[in-house]
């Protein structure tokens, strides 16, 4: 069955550094990959979508890459700030199918 892993449960980095979160998957060939942010006690909020034919997508301080050969997506937050502290979820989808979510990585940006 398909499996989605996100590097670690928690990641701590220093303010101003680049945070890199990983989403790996097996037994799946997604056409789309999304990233969401979730704050404690809140619902997830959509950040970015990248398609299988796109290698990289940027939005302000966010950058997402999608490597279908490695079956991996990397999510980067540059010049990280304490306000970026949250749980980040990746979700994989295919044409006509529902998205499947990874377990999430809790990012803490330390001042």
Partner 1 sequence: DAGITQSPRHKVTETGTPVTLRCHQTENHRYMYWYRQDPGHGLRLIHYSYGVKDTDKGEVSDGYSVSRSKTEDFLLTLESATSSQTSVYFCAISDRRRMNTGELFFGEGSRLTVL
Which residues would be at the binding site for partner 1 (CB under 8 A)?
Answer: 4, 32, 34, 36, 41-46, 49, 89, 91, 93, 98-104
What's the min distance (Å) between Cβ of 52 and partner 1?
A: 13
Q: Which of 29, 26, 33, 23 is nearest to 54 (CA)?
A: 33
Residue among 15 and 48 whose Cβ is closer to partner 1: 48
Residue among 15 and 94 whose Cβ is closer to partner 1: 94
Interatomic CA distance for residues 30 and 41, integer angstroms:
29
Cα angle: 63, vertex 32, 84; to 5 degrees = 35
Q: What is the DSSP letter of 51?
A: E
What's the min distance (Å) between Cβ of 5 and partner 1?
A: 10
């Amino acid at each position: 069955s398909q499996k989605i892993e996100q590097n670690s449960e928690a990641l701590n980095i220093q303010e101003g550094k680049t945070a890199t979160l990983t989403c790996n998957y097996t037994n799946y060939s997604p056409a789309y990959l999304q990233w969401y942010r979730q704050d404690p006690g809140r619902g997830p909020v959509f950040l970015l979508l990248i398609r299988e034919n796109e290698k990289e997508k940027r939005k302000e301080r966010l950058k997402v890459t999608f490597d279908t050969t490695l079956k991996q997506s990397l999510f980067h937050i540059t010049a990280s700030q304490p306000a970026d502290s949250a749980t980040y979820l990746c979700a994989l989808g295919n044409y006509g199918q529902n998205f499947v979510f990874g377990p999430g990585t809790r990012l803490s940006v330390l001042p």
